[in-house]
Structure 1
Amino acid sequence: MGKIPFTPENLPLNSERINQLFFINELIEANTKVAQYQVLLQNTKLPSHLLLNPVMLNEAVQSTKIEGTQVTLDEVLEVEALSRKNNKDIQEVLNYYHALRDGMDKLTSLPISTRLFKAMHVTLMSNEVRGSNRTPGEYRKIQNFIGPEGCSLETATYIPPQPQLVDDFMNNLEIYINSPQDDLNELIRIAVVHAQFETIHPFLDGNGRIGRILIPLYLYSKGVIDYPNFFLSETLEKDKHKYYRFLNDTRYKGDWNQWIKFFLEAMIMQADKHIRLINNVNDLYEHDLNLAQSLINSSGVKKLIDAMYQKPIFMAQAIANLAELPEATCRRYLSILETNRVIFSDGKQRSKTYYYYNLLDKLR
């Protein structure tokens, strides 16, 4: 197995490949849970855009963790807050975050397409991270292979299609994404699309991360979710060896049913986690906003609390700018909140960093 490059089927798959009865219960539950999550977001007390920044950063942490980085959400937020020196692993996480944001922004004017993939890939490989010398923004012109660190072509677990076939397969994938000629549910389609992207492996590096960014972008572009904020990397990272095995089984065993079932189960688990997070954060937001307003008699305190949800690790000047408050006023508010243990700081006299642990504990 795996000694010669794999040649995938074009999409749509032959209807005999997929037996929907095999995963019908998971499909119904996944659609129900994703819909519940959307309704919850539409009716949240906390303006849903406030949470997007830290939740997207957490997705970036989890997705790059699958590729071997050892970074925490706190460390990334500290670099964002300018209270920690950057390093290559953290930069990889930040690149993923910016590629995700770039993809979201470009969806307003571009379909999901080669142009979009290549633009996100340039961002993902910028700032001299691993792979930055491996033709960012270009599909590969040489053979690549996948396997344990240090493996060779002979010991690889998977060898993607020959490089001269990449453009044709990506063109087929792009057509399928935008004009699918089957009657599958969108959650099944994104399971197929993600697997096909990883099977083609069009770039020399960063394929897993671009493929995982593709999941929320696809669901958003099809109107399944109202905002591209449904991320699967955390659940996939927990079961990454199963993730890789079932992907490989679609190639060498043609077992699409097991892969789709696994993907839907991951969506259910992630939807449950997202729903718990929104419920918990709603309660926290209401509690801490009421507490802050009881301590500080000013309409500006809500602006400060809202800003802390976007940047739960911060310095005074940055949070004052984000909250659109005078810096001196903001520092006074922060002092009151710290005295009352709503936030905590590192205690430095200069360049003090504040931590909103109540929120961080729920995000991690």
Structure 2
Amino acid sequence: MARAPFTPDPLPLSNEQIDPLFFLKELIEAHKKIAQYQVLLQNTKLPSHLLLNPVMLNEAVQSTKIEGTQVTLDEVLEVETHSRKNNKDVQEVLNYYHALRESMDRLSILPISTRLFKSMHLTLMSNGVRGSNRSPGEYRKIQNFIGPEGCTMETATFIPPQPQSVDNYMNNLEIYINDPQDKLDELIRIAIVHAQFETIHPFLDGNGRIGRILIPLYLFNKKVIDYPNFFLSEALERDKHKYYRYLNDTRYKGDWNQWIQFFLEAIIHQADKNIKLINDVNELYDRDLDLAQSLINSSGIKKLVDAIFQKPIFTVPTISLSSELSEATCRRYLSTLEANRIVFSDGKQRFKTYYYYSLLDKLR
């Protein structure tokens, strides 16, 4: 394998590099599954924005797991509700979550662009996490390389483009995202965009995570999905060695068809999981809301149940804030819910933490 920095093909790719018939079956299935997921989201019994918080946190956990950070969703939710001390691993996950949320908000005023990428990266590398001293919010000025821990440039599996060419390649990618000048389907384009971003590797650290945030942002921006909440990190983490191999094959073998097919299969797998999650959560919401309302005859109980679905690990102060109920009312309701095994607590007399395991089991 050549030791020189890689020189990517500019986008758009030529017609000879892609054979749509190679992955036509997967493309049709991926669109069908995404459409099914969208319809379910639009008609969910639980207000879909309530589920977004834990789903996005789980995405942050899965995406940082690919980079080797071992943190559970429970640990992150405990830190978020102030019942566990923070650490750098959890902070990496929270930084990803904040970068994701901020980029969603900024998309209403900014195109997908260098400015957005750098803003996301600055947030991702904040608060003293690993890589926070490696030019946060700036494209790299030195050569980097990718490979197993402890590898050198000679033993690396991939050497990205020279630093002085990063701006040109990112400018080409930005133009392709916003004005592609080809006739490809948007699901094929995002497979190409993600691969090209990872190939350019414009930052010294955090490229994988920024590239994975880019996936739902792109699909939302192109109106493939109604909200930027379709995340692929879990599906990519499941087959991460295949993920890395097929990415490298686009570079050194020019095999874009195999990569696009794999990417579409990841979309199908994740859509199936999302569809099952929405159906399961709808059933759970109906069941536990009915049970809670049979136990507590008050209009406020629905506010509490809705808040618990947004924050399945919580304390009285955090759930009071989310539900807009007084802490005294929350304590009274929670006492009844805990007595009936709907929620569980750690049993502490002060600063008690509650767990809604029925939802956590479906998210994990």
Aligned to 1:122: 122
Q: Over residues 168-206 of structure 1, what are the superposed CA-to-partner deviations in whole Å (9 max), with x where a residue is unaligned?
A: 000000000000100000000000000000000000000
Q: Hey, what's the Cα distance between the residues in 2 that align with 1:197 and 1:213?
A: 11
Aligned to 1:318: 318
Q: How far has the Cα of 1:309 moved from its partner?
A: 0.8
Q: Hey, what's the Cα distance between the residues in 1 that align with 2:331 and 2:310?
A: 18
1:160-175 equivalent positions in 2, closer than 5 A: 160-175=160-175
Asked if 1:225 corresponds to 2:225, the answer is yes
Q: Hey, what's the Cα distance between the residues in 2 that align with 1:321 and 1:28?
A: 44
Aligned to 1:68: 68
Q: Is the CA contact 1:161–1:200 (under 8 Å) kept in the aligned structure 2?
A: yes
1:4-19 equivalent positions in 2, closer than 5 A: 4-19=4-19
Q: Over residues 314-360 of structure 1, what are the superposed CA-to-partner deviations in whole Å (9 max), with x where a residue is unaligned?
A: 00011011100011011000000000000000000000000000100
Identity %: 80
Q: How many residues in Structure 1 have an aligned counterpart in Structure 2?
A: 364
Q: Hey, what's the Cα distance between the residues in 1 that align with 2:2 and 2:192?
A: 21
Q: Hey, what's the Cα distance between the residues in 2 that align with 1:6 and 1:13?
A: 16
Q: Is the CA contact 1:316–1:352 (under 8 Å) kept in the aligned structure 2?
A: yes
SS of 1:282's equivalent in the other structure is helix
TM-score between the two structures when normalised by the length of structure 1: 1.00
Aligned to 1:81: 81
Q: Is the CA contact 1:2–1:157 (under 8 Å) kept in the aligned structure 2?
A: no
Q: Hey, what's the Cα distance between the residues in 2 that align with 1:137 and 1:170?
A: 14
Report the residue type matching 1:15 in the other structure. Answer: N
Q: Hey, what's the Cα distance between the residues in 2 that align with 1:238 and 1:294?
A: 41
Instruction: Structure 2 unaligned segments of length 5 or more: list them.
Output: none
Q: Over residues 110-140 of structure 1, what are the superposed CA-to-partner deviations in whole Å (9 max), with x where a residue is unaligned?
A: 0000000000000000010010000000000
Aligned to 1:256: 256
Asked if 1:142 corresponds to 2:142, the answer is yes
1:96-245 equivalent positions in 2, closer than 5 A: 96-245=96-245
Q: Hey, what's the Cα distance between the residues in 1 that align with 2:308 and 2:2?
A: 50
Q: Hey, what's the Cα distance between the residues in 2 that align with 1:130 and 1:322?
A: 31
Aligned to 2:337: 337
TM-score between the two structures when normalised by the length of structure 2: 1.00
Aligned to 2:38: 38
Point out 4+ residue stretches in structure 1 off by more than 4 angstroms: none
Aligned to 1:52: 52
Report the residue type matching 1:341 in the other structure. Answer: R
Q: How far has the Cα of 1:2 moved from its partner?
A: 4.0
SS of 1:76's equivalent in the other structure is helix
SS of 2:354's equivalent in the other structure is strand
Q: Hey, what's the Cα distance between the residues in 1 that align with 2:280 and 2:190?
A: 29
